[in-house]
Structures are given as structure tokens and as C-alpha cells.
Chain A
Amino acid sequence: MPNPIEIEVNGKRYPVHYHPDAPLLYVLRDDLGFTGTKYGCGEGQCGSCTVLIAGQPRRSCQISVSAVVGKPVTTIEGLEKDGQLHPVQQAFIDAGAFQCAYCTPGMIMSSVGLLQSNPNASTDEIKQFLQGNICRCGTQPRIVEAVRQAAKTMQEGAR
């Protein structure tokens, strides 16, 4: 392929071997091996494929890879820093906010995005924001609890 495009994922640049119109999800999973980002529906309805694009949570099944050129992408694999979990990841463990955990990466990425823009998110705001993320095991109450806990930790850390 002439002039493959390059994208930045978790702070590193990668050449993309897929067509520029390919959804980012397939490039992340199949071309680059970031399989923490999950396929769930392919229509932006379940939130399993959520990643951060320039800090904003986005459904990677609904966005072409060419659209993220020049915009840093963060996946679930990029949250841990030097062996230290992101406060949202830690809060999910502490609250036991998963059962089968297939939705968990998407839930965490959405929640990280929410708390970046709204560090004081209320319970209602958390529920509203996560309305687009499906959990079929029925863990939603604990997920809300985890996000509230993470918000607290992050605010304490910021002080």
C-alpha cells in the first residue's frame, strides 16, 4: 500500500495497513492488536468499543481510521501508567463492578471521558452519560458506585 496512514495509539505511532475508511475498531483490534476494545454491536448502540479520541469518548465502530489521523487515541490498554491503574480502573476493582466483564473496557473508557469533562458528576449524570453502554449481566448499580468512587479519588488526588 502506498503511503500508509499513521495513527497515534496510547502515545505511540503505528502505520495502518487497513483501508482509510475501515472503522477504527477493526484497525485497533485486528491490525494493531489492541483487543481490549470490544465489538458488541457495530452500530454504536452498546458502547463496548468506546475509546478516547483526543480525550473524548467515542464509539470506535462508528468512526473511520482516517478520521483519527493527528488525534491521539487512548484505549483501555493505555490507562495503566507504570504499573499503576487509573483511578477508574481501581474503582471498578474495589466496587466489584463487573461480572462477565466484557462491557468493562467500554464502561471504563466512557467513565474516564465523563470524569475528565465533569469531575463532579452526580449519580443522575453518570447514569445519563452511561446510557449508551450496555451491561447484560446487570452490574449497573455497582458501575455507578465505582464511577462515584473514582470521582472522589481523582478529586482528592488533584488537591
Chain B
Amino acid sequence: MSTIVSGPLQKPLLEPERYELTSGSIHHFDLARREFFKLLGAGITVFAVTKSVIAQETGPSHSFHPQDLPSDIRAWLHIGEDGVVTAFCGKVEIGQNIRTSLAQTVADELRVPFASVRMVMGDTALTPFDAGTFGSRTTPSMTPQLRRVASAARDLLIEAAAHEWNVAPERLKAADAKVTDPGSGRSATYASLARGKTLAQNLPAEDPVTPPADWTVAGKPIPKMDARDFVTGRHQYTPDLRPAGMLHGKVLRPPSFGATLTSYDDSAAKAMSGVLIVRDGDFVGAAAPTEHQATAALAAVRTQWKEVPQVSSREIFAYLKSNAESKADDRHRQQKGSVDEVLAGAAHRFDATYNVAYIAHAPLEPRAAVAEWSGEKLTVWTGSQRPFGVRGELADTLRISEANVRVIIPDTGAAYGGKHTGDAAIEAARIARAAYRPVKVVWTREEEFAWAYFRPAGVIEIKSAISPEGKLIAWDFHNYHSGSSGIETPYTVPNVLTQFHSVPLVLRSGSYRGLAATANHFARETHMDALAHSSKMDPLEFRLKNLDDARLRAVLEASAKRFGWPHAKAEGRGFGIAAGHEKGSYVATCAEVAVDNNSGVVRVVRLVTAFDCGAIVNPDGLRHQVIGANIQGLGGALFEAIEFENGRITNPRFSRYRVPRFRDIPEIEAVLLDRKDIAPAGAGETPIMAVAPAIGNAIFDATGQRLNNLPLVPNGLKKT
């Protein structure tokens, strides 16, 4: 068996860490400027481009061709005659609070109150092309773009005032949504300056932006935008949309992964009143006025399937190790010095193997989409991290032009890397095309667990050696299947070989918050702990002894200090530490666990995570990300694992797949290092990475049992 085909539509398989493959996308621009002005009314518009300085003035009736626009627009904003600022970008809000932090950025740079900014996001007809919201890229990539746009808009307003007052623009100041002339005391609001004008400006490439030390709106703990809509149930997630005439769609799932349809009879289903059955190859869908009727109709379809042999979760690690592709992928190989030689001659050598299970994202809002056709034009609302990617998938699958597809992403009930694909969107669109009515598809929790994609399992092998003084001298690290993110050791080692070995997919796999960096950090930091103990050194001291990276040292020291490392511990308690960096941010976590030696129950008592992602844009949102990542990481560390056999997920429910709940959650402290001298990096992923090894190391400290597999204690600790 080489691959397992997943999903009913026989689409190409996902690669692990899919987002790494999406670079170099073609940029698109859909909205003619004329329509744009019609949408927003007159005012001042600034487009962000990375080259050419072209200021231009146009009238609303001025003819416009999309090809006139630069191809690399990433963001734009508009200041209306009412003073409302609308900023447009292709990112999406999935609970990470970027709607708030991006609006803060715009308000900060434009010098307007936060409340006057609104964000239009993730709509392929209104927002500029964006590859997707992943990889902790929003803050480092979109923040500078929006700042430059806002800065250019501010300049435009100053110039407009200077022109009106016949003074030099240099003597004017912009603050609090006004341009002021300190010399004469004269001032004009942005709203009044925008009135009666339709100005548009393309953006100078290197317009200076406000440094973090001078931020006034950014850097503040501003609460989530539209918070009231979320506590009143007024916000509509995709499953809450109900366009007039809508039908509910359901898709028939094969009995197991890779099964193919061999016999099919839908006569009984078709005889049911109000039901539409759609068959397209192995895709079978139903539409009906209620979800219950659609489900019942599918149950009445008689099918037989040919199933194929499948690997089970019991044998997965041996399978992955023995099925690595023989041809080495040198893109994921780093080497320096002579590892084999040093390992062979080392007096103090330590080798170990680590296994990491498949886990599920399980966002509470399941995959869902509403599709509506109008002739050849298709509009789809869906919860996804890649609006433009989903548009492409829809166009490809349905064989229509991308120009006829609009994808809109309502603020979504989370994703965690799990919503890169357009599965539900394609299903809804396919059924709606046959139904001539809008169709909504909402996956059940079981479909979520079985037919979405997983964080891939992996096997990691490490061989290592240290000098008598406790310095790392050789590091040989191999990751089979789980991925190459965060694979390189941050410690100083003269002889290193690091390699990722790909293995054909067993289960459908893709991005998950932090990608493989969580697995790679788990293996590395567990191994470092074992090396420290074997050389009778304190685990923190051993790390610092082998570490030159100043930012990583700083988070290690900050978490240790707040935690009180090392300190005397009670019976059955243990302390662990772990650290790492990825995507421009730095994390260290200290953990305290309590182990009940009679029952084997392991309880995490306390986590202290220090985090540095450069200048902090919103400390409140950042605290959410860091503490949230610690809690999510706790599940994968202690008990989450997808079980499978015969091509079926055998624990596809919350009653059988344990996620962290209130009583699992320890006291958690986030120590945020605000580096105003460093441009902000993203923070959605890295804070998850040190949780599992810190907990595993604490369990070793408490019990002397070294646990090398994730999850660490799905059934409690075994007696020694």
C-alpha cells in the first residue's frame, strides 16, 4: 500500500505542513475601483504596493480597468466622509483576535481612535489576495503593510490640509483624527478633509512607520472587537447562516478510508418527499429542507463498497520507520562537522527514540459551508484559513472560472491549522449546483474527527554525545513523517546532522498549530533533559551551558525565575523545563506535576511560560494566545491520540477523544517579554511547543520514569 485516498472527491492528497507549499501564489484583484467607490462612497483611499510611487486623483465616474492596478496589492484602506476608516486585508479572524490587533495597528499609525476603524477581512471579492492565515504570519507580514498604508493616508490628509491652508505640509501634525497647524492653531478633522474628495494614492515603498516605542493605540490591551455580538449570540458563524430557500446538505461517507463504491441504488431515497440526491462518481450527497431529512435520505441509499487493507494505530510507529522514502530529501537535511565519527568515539553517548501520535484539531465550530449559485456565479460562506485557496479549490473541482467564485469567511469558531482546505465548501457547492437553491453543509462531530485531517504521527530518533565537561559534541536527529518545522537544534553543537524523512501518508494529514515543531521540540527537549540528568547537571544549567542564543537564554531565565527554579519539592511532585524558538519567537515553559503513586494519576499543577515575540501589539490578546496554547498543548502532551483500525477512526467523539477540560487546567502564568527594539513576530503557535517536554521532564523528576511518547500518560502512569 502506498497511499490512502481520503475524502469522497478523490482530490489530490495533502502534504504534511501544507502551507509550506503555497508560496509563490499568483496575485489576484477582483474588484474594479469603480465598484469599490460605489461600495464605500467618496473619501480617501490608499492602496499598499511595494513598488512605484504614483499619486493620482480620480473622479468616481472615472473609468477604470483592473489591470491598471499594481499586482502586488496586499492591503488598502478608505477614509469616508463620515470619518469611518475601513481597512481591507485577506486575513481571517479565527479566534486569534487579529481583527482587533490589526485595527489597533491601523488606528495607531493613522492617529485615529480605535473605535473609528473597521476591518473587512477574508472576502475574495473585497479584499486583496492573501495566501492564508497561518504560520504566525499575520502580525509580521500584515502589520507592516497596514502601517504603511495608514502612514500614506496620513500624509495624504496632511497634504490636503496644507493645500487648503496654503502652508507647508512639514509644519502640520496629525493626531486624534485631525490635522492641526500648531503655528496658527487651525485644525481640520479627517472627515472634513475627506469630504467631497475622491482621492487615491499608491503607496511609497519605504514610507517610514511609527516605531513600537512611540505606539499609542497599538501595544495596549484593547478587548476583542464586536465583543457584544459574541456574548449575545448575535454573531453568525457559517453554520448559523440561513439564506432564504436554503436546503440542508449531507454527504455519504465511505465505511473506511480508501473504500470505493461498487454498487449503488438510490431509488428508495429518491422516493422520499422533498429530497434531492446528487451522485457524481463516488460522491453522493443529499439535500432536504431539514438536516434530519437529508441524513435519513442518505441512510436510505443502498451501497456496497470495496475496502482496502489499512495500517492501524497499534502498528503505526513501526510502519512509519520502515516505510520512509529511500530517496533522501536534501531540502530537509543540515549537516556540519563529522557526527558519525564523534559519536563512535564518544565516552558519554546517549541515544533514544520518540513517538508522537496523530491528534485532531477539534475546533468547536465544525467544518461548514453555505453555497449559493446565481447562474454561473457561485458565492460560498465557509470557515477557512485560506479564502483564496478555497476559491481555487472550488474553481478546479467544479471546473468554473475563479472569476465566478466568491468566498466569504465569517469570523470562525477556530481552526488551529485545521481549516486550510475547502472540503465542506466543495460539498455544499456541488449539491447546491444540482439543487438550484442555497445549500448548507455542516459536518457532524464524527465527520470532523474522521474526515478532516490530522497532525501527523511521527518517529524521531536522536543520537548524541557530550564532553566530560557537559558540552554537546554531537547531535544526530531524524524525524520520520511528522515534519521538519523546528527540527534544528538551537543549542551550540560542533557536529550536527538533522534530517526529515518523508513517509507516504497513512491518514490524511496537514497543518496543526505549531506544525512538527511541537514533536521536534518534545524529542529534543526530552533528550536534553535526559542528557542533563545522566551527567548529573541541573537541566536549566545544562541548557544554558550549551546555549549562545541571547533571546532563548532570556526566556529560559525569565520562566525559571518566575517559577522559582530550582526549589525544594514535596513528595510526589516534580519540576521540568523546556525551551525553543520558531518563526521568530522564543518560548520557555516550566512545569510542576503531582503524581499519585497509587493510582498513577498525573496532574499538572502549574505552568509558567515565558514568551518573546518582539514588540507586543496587544498584551491582552497575546496573553490569550500564550495561555490558550499552553492549555491546548496540555491535551496533546497528556492524553490526546487518534486511534484507528481497518481504515476507521475508532474514537471519533468527545466522549472517546479526551480534550482538556476545566479540571485539567493548572495554574498558568504567562511572562511576556516586550522587546520594543524588535519588530513583532506572530504568536499563535510557538507558545505551544515547550509544554509537552516540560511536563514529561517534570514526570521524570517526580518518578524517575522517562516517557518518550506523546501522549505521555493517556491511561495514567504505569507502575514501575
Interface residues of A (CB under 8 A from B): 18-19, 22, 26, 29-30, 33-43, 45-46, 48, 75-77, 79-80, 85, 89-90, 92-93, 96, 98-105, 108, 126-128, 130-144
Chain B nearest CB from A68 CB (Å) reads 18
Contact A134 B232 (CB under 8 A): no
Smallest distance from the beta carbon of B301 to chain A beta carbons, Å? 21
Q: A128 CA to B664 CA in the complex, in Å?
A: 11
**Of A41, A48, A77, most B-chain CB atoms within 10 Å:** A41
Tell me which of A35, A43, A99 contacts B654 (CB under 8 A): A43
A34 to B227, CA, bound (A): 19
Say whether B632 faces chain A, with CB atoms less than 8 Å apart.
Answer: yes
Q: Which chain B residues lie closer than 8 Å to A131 at the CB level?
A: 661-663
Q: Are the C-beta atoms of A36 and B232 separated by less than 8 Å?
A: yes
- B662 contacts which of A39, A76, A144 (Cβ < 8 Å)? A144
Instruction: Identify 8 new A-B residue pairs, CB closer than 8 A, beyond the known A135-B364, A140-B665.
Output: A45-B653, A77-B233, A98-B227, A99-B97, A100-B414, A102-B95, A131-B662, A144-B662
- 10 tightest A-B CB contacts, nearest first: A36-B233, A100-B95, A102-B413, A138-B631, A138-B628, A35-B240, A76-B233, A101-B230, A45-B654, A100-B414
A80 to B228, CA, bound (A): 11
CA distance A51 to B365 in the complex (A): 18
Question: Could you tell me the distance between the alpha carbons of A77 and B240 in the complex, rounded to whole angstroms?
Answer: 14
Q: Which of B233, B366, B413, B627 contacts A138 (CB 8 A)?
A: B627
What is the bound-complex CA distance between A141 and B414, given in angstroms? 18
Contacts from B to A (Cβ < 8 Å): 94-97, 223-224, 227-228, 230-237, 239-240, 242, 248, 290-292, 361-366, 411-414, 416, 442, 444-445, 620, 624, 627-632, 653-655, 659-663, 665, 668
Chain B residue with Cβ nearest A136: B364
User: B362 contacts A89, CB within 8 Å?
Assistant: no
- For the residues of A in contact with B, the DSSP-based class is loop
Given contacts A36-B232, A80-B232, A141-B668, contact A128 B95 (CB under 8 A): no
> Are B631 and A43 in contact, CB atoms less than 8 angstroms apart?
no
Q: How far is the CA of A37 from the CA of B594 in the complex (A)?
A: 38
Cβ of A126: which chain B residues have Cβ within 8 Å of it?
662
Residues from chain A with Cβ under 8 Å of B668 in the complex: 141
Residues of B contacting A135 in the complex (Cβ-Cβ under 8 angstroms): 364
Q: How far is the CB of A15 from chain B (nearest CB, A)?
A: 16
Contact among B231, B290, B663 for A93, CB-based, below 8 A: B231
* Distance, CA A139 to CA B555, complexed state (A): 23
Is there an interface contact between A40 and B364, defined as CB atoms closer than 8 Å?
yes
- Bound: A118/B139 CA distance, A: 43
Cα-based distance from A47 to B515 in the complex (angstroms) = 29
Is there contact, CB below 8 Å, between A101 and B235? yes
CB atoms of A104 and B230 under 8 A apart: yes
Supposing A45-B653, A93-B228, A99-B95 touch, asked if A137 and B414 sit within 8 A by C-beta, the answer is yes
CB distance from B138 to the nearest CB of A (A): 15
- Closest CB of chain A to B317's CB: distance in Å? 27
B231 engages A92 (CB within 8 Å): yes
Cα distance A139–B365 in the bound complex, in angstroms: 16
Do B233 and A136 have beta carbons less than 8 Å apart?
A: no
Complex CA–CA separation, A31 to B97 (angstroms): 32
Interface pair A35/B233, CB less than 8 Å apart: yes
Q: Is the CB of A130 within 8 A of B662?
A: yes
B230 and A42 contact, CB distance less than 8 A: no
Contact of A41 (CB < 8 Å), options: B96, B620, B653: B653
Contacts known (A96-B620, A101-B235, A134-B659); A46 close to B230, Cβ less than 8 A: no
A98 and B366 form a contact (CB under 8 A): no
> In the bound complex, do residue B655 and residue A98 qualify as a contact, i.e. CB atoms below 8 Å apart?
no
Q: Are B95 and A96 in contact (CB under 8 A)?
A: no
Contacts of B665 in A (CB 8 A): 127, 138, 140-141
Select from chain B the residue with minimum beta-carbon distance to A33: B242
Given the known A-B contacts A93-B223, A100-B413, A128-B663, are A37 and B233 also in contact in the complex, defined by CB atoms under 8 Å?
Answer: yes
Contact across chains for B291 and A43 when beta carbons are under 8 A apart: no
Expressed in whole angstroms, the Cα–Cα distance for A141 and B609 within the complex equals: 15
> Which of A79, A102, A138 meets B232, CB within 8 Å?
A79
Q: Which of B361, B624, B630, B631 contacts A96 (CB 8 A)?
A: B624
User: Given known contacts A35-B236, A38-B364, is B292 in contact with A26 (CB within 8 Å)?
Assistant: yes
Question: A85 touching B228 by the CB < 8 A rule?
Answer: yes
The distance in angstroms between the C-alpha atoms of A66 and B415, with both chains bound, is: 35
Set of chain B residues within 8 Å of A141, measured between Cβ atoms: 627, 665, 668
- Contacts A93-B228, A100-B413, A144-B662; A39 near B366 (Cβ below 8 A): yes
**A38-B364, A138-B628, A138-B660 as given contacts; A43 in contact with B653, CB under 8 Å:** yes
A157 → B minimal CB distance (Å): 18
Q: How far is the CA of A104 from the CA of B235 in the complex (A)?
A: 11
Given A36, A43, A96, which contacts B655 in the complex, CB threshold below 8 Å? A43
Contact, CB under 8 Å: A139 / B414? no
Taking a contact as CB atoms closer than 8 A, the residue among A92, A100, A128, A144 that contacts B364 in the complex is: A100
Interface centre among A108, A130, A140, A144 (most CB of B within 10 A): A140
Q: A39, A134, A139 — which one has the most chain B CB atoms within 10 A of its CB? A: A39
Residue contact B364 to A103, C-beta cutoff 8 Å: yes
Of A18, A138, A139, most buried by chain B (CB within 10 Å of CB) is: A138
Chain B nearest CB, measured from A34 CB (Å): 8
Query: What's the nearest-Cβ distance from chain B to residue A90, in Å?
Result: 8
Given A96-B224, A100-B412, check contact A39 B628 (CB 8 Å). Answer: no
Whole-angstrom CA separation of A141 from B228 in the bound complex: 20
For B659, what are the chain A residues with a Cβ–Cβ distance below 8 Å? Answer: 134, 136
Most A CB atoms within 10 A — which of B362, B364, B631, B660? B364
B654 and A46 within 8 A (CB):
yes
Among A46, A126, A131, which residue has the most Cβ atoms of chain B within 10 A?
A: A46
Contact A18 B290 (CB under 8 A): yes
Alpha-carbon distance between A101 and B411 when the two chains are bound, in angstroms: 10
Contact B232 A136 (CB under 8 A): no
A26–B290 contact, CB under 8 A? yes
Contact A139 B628 (CB under 8 A): yes
**Assuming the A-B contacts A43-B445, A134-B659, A136-B364, are A105 and B95 also in contact, with contact meaning beta carbons closer than 8 angstroms in the complex?**
no
| 22 A-B residue pairs with CB within 8 Å | A19-B292, A35-B236, A37-B233, A38-B364, A40-B445, A41-B653, A41-B654, A45-B653, A77-B232, A90-B231, A100-B94, A105-B231, A128-B662, A134-B364, A136-B416, A137-B628, A138-B631, A138-B660, A139-B624, A140-B661, A141-B665, A142-B624
**Residue ID in chain A nearest B240 by CB atoms:** A35
A77 and B235 CA atoms in complex are apart in Å by 11
Residues of chain B contacted by A39 (CB below 8 angstroms): 239, 366, 442
Closest partner residue, chain B, to A27 (CB atom)? B290
Cα distance A46–B444 when bound, in Å? 13
Residues of B within 8 A of A80 (CB): 232
Bound together, the chains give a CA A128 to CA B662 distance in angstroms of 7
With A39-B366, A134-B654, A138-B627 already in contact, the answer to whether A98 and B414 are too (CB < 8 A) is no
